[in-house]
Amino acid sequence: MKIVGFKKIIFSLVILFLVIHFINPFLFSTGVFEFDINLKLVGKGNTVLHIPPLGTVSSKTHFPPVDIHLTLRNINLEQLEVFTRELSSGNQNWPEIMLPKIKEAVFTYFLYLLILAFFLGATSFLLLSYRSRQKRNMLLGGLISGGINCLAIGLLLFSIFFSYNIKAFSEAQYEGILEAAPWVMSAFDEGPAVIKNLGYQFTEVIDNISILQKEVESNLLLQENQETLKILHVSDIHNNPAAFELILKVVDAFNIDLIIDTGDLVDYGTALEMEIFTDFFNSINIPYIFVPGNHESPTAIAALKAIENITVLEEGVVEVAGIKVAGIADPLSSLPSMSGTDDDLAEKVAQQLKELVNNSEGVEIIANHNPDYFKYLREGGNFLLGGHTHTPYIKSRNDYIEINAGTTGSSGIRGLNQLDVTFSLVLITMQYSPEEKSLYLPSSADMIKVENFPFIYSFERHNLRNNT
């Protein structure tokens, strides 16, 4: 026992468990998803899945009082497209595709912990024994200490592995935005019936709004002989098919001439997501300008470009339906994975958008996904359309007008929490101005919001000619 040094071994075990508890995140990939995994040695036997910024999913999955934390770090959109296509083909289910890679990653992680255990055990023993003159005993003690550490971690991992119950996730606890997940899965099971029901309610709501809008128009005594252009501003649909039911109703009821979409049509940028919306785009027979947002990808943009009546505005000025629109795609839309935009890049895009507008003639609307990029354009009478924030607003100032459509898709599945929803879009009327050499000038903006369930609606008119 003198050779081994019982107290030194206990000390090395304490160091090992402290290191594992606080400093052991390990990155692994399943091909589609990249996770950090780490163990918390004082726990309740839970597996906790962190999906920032949506929240967490947790369940008691094993017997030892150790928590396993998995944090999503990245999604490879190209691999996700392959993965979703394999699922949709019906040849494989997700466990058959994912579990082999997960098992390989877990095995690698366990091996990493065993090597770490041995290294810490041996190193801590040798450091505490450095004054000893019996070098052979020091070496032997280090090997024994490392072996005991490996045995301790091995027994812990063995007990986790053989007591693990993956079926426990059927009764998982959800926190954050993910609290909506059980309801969303139920809605997906019901499928088209849910969307069809929403569509019926949208019809009634839009009919009522249309009547109200006509009354407002008549009260304002708009000049009927003056040429107008009606634009529907939508944004942040985020894969919600119900949004397209709403858009179609508004287009029909208000005789819309042009749709401007300021991005985030999808969530992950896959071609499979675009296929979901094929029927909608086939039903739209008016021009549609799309400015890519941070959730788009090269794959999604290519799919949109293939649709005849859609103009994808990645950078520059386009003239559609007789009106000139300037814009720049969100820089993240050109990347195959989703990650944050740093301050330097945001500043660069804001400067780039400013130069684009200043070097162009006759721009009537500036459309961009992220309002932060309007930093240098809130002046000079500019007319700005944005999204991204999911907060609808209309700001009419003396030197500029800024409109945010909010989220026409009610934040996608993130907003579908027990049908506590808000769909928002803006109906803009532009009037021809002979004095401005055929330019269209903003006349009015109608903020339309459909909220809660059963649906209630609000219709808010802003007279932009008088900045009111």
Structural domains of the chain in order of their starting residue, each with its CATH number: 6-171 (no CATH), 184-463 (3.60.21.10)
Q: Which pLDDT band holds residue 23 (cuts at 50, 70, 90)?
A: low
Query: Is 82's pLDDT higher than 80?
Result: no
CA gap 336, 349 in Å, rounded: 19
CA gap 138, 144 in Å, rounded: 10
Name the nearest CA neighbour of 37 among 104, 100, 83, 97.
104
Across 192-206, 264-278, 302-316, the highest mean pLDDT is recorded for 302-316
| Token pair 């055929």 in the structure block, residue | 438
Query: Is 239's pLDDT higher than 60?
Result: yes
Q: How many CB atoms lie within 10 A of CB 212?
A: 14
**pLDDT value of position 133:** 59
Residue 183: half-sphere exposure toward Cβ, Cα within 13 Å: 14
Range scoring the smallest mean pLDDT among 81-85, 301-305, 403-407? 81-85
Query: Is 285's pLDDT higher than 60?
Result: yes
Q: How many CB atoms lie within 10 A of CB 156?
A: 18
Query: Is 257's pLDDT higher than 70?
Result: yes
Q: With pLDDT > 90 as the criterion, what percentage of the chain qualifies? A: 25
**pLDDT value of position 332:** 87
CA gap 229, 440 in Å, rounded: 8
Query: Is 232's pLDDT higher than 90?
Result: yes
**pLDDT value of position 427:** 94
**Mean pLDDT, residues 112-136 taken together:** 76
Q: Is the peptide bond before 454 cis (omega within 30 degrees of 0)?
A: yes
**pLDDT value of position 464:** 86
**pLDDT value of position 363:** 94
**Mean pLDDT, residues 274-293 taken together:** 87
Q: Which pLDDT band holds residue 40 (cuts at 50, 70, 90)?
A: confident
Query: Is 76's pLDDT higher than 90?
Result: no
Query: Is 316's pLDDT higher than 90?
Result: yes
Q: Which pLDDT band holds residue 389 (cuts at 50, 70, 90)?
A: very high
pTM higher than 0.95:
no
**pLDDT value of position 376:** 95
Distance of CA 402 to CAs 223, 318, 394, 462, Å? Answer: 25, 20, 6, 12
Range scoring the smallest mean pLDDT among 10-24, 209-223, 311-325? 209-223
Residue 444 and residue 461 in contact, taking contact as beta carbons nearer than 8 Å: yes
Q: For the CA atoms of 437, 440, 441, 445, what is the dihedral angle to 10 degrees?
A: 170
- Return the amino acid letter for 356: L
Dihedral class, residue 222 (left if φ above 0, else alpha if ψ from -120 to 50, else beta): beta
Range scoring the smallest mean pLDDT among 177-186, 311-320, 438-447, 452-461? 177-186
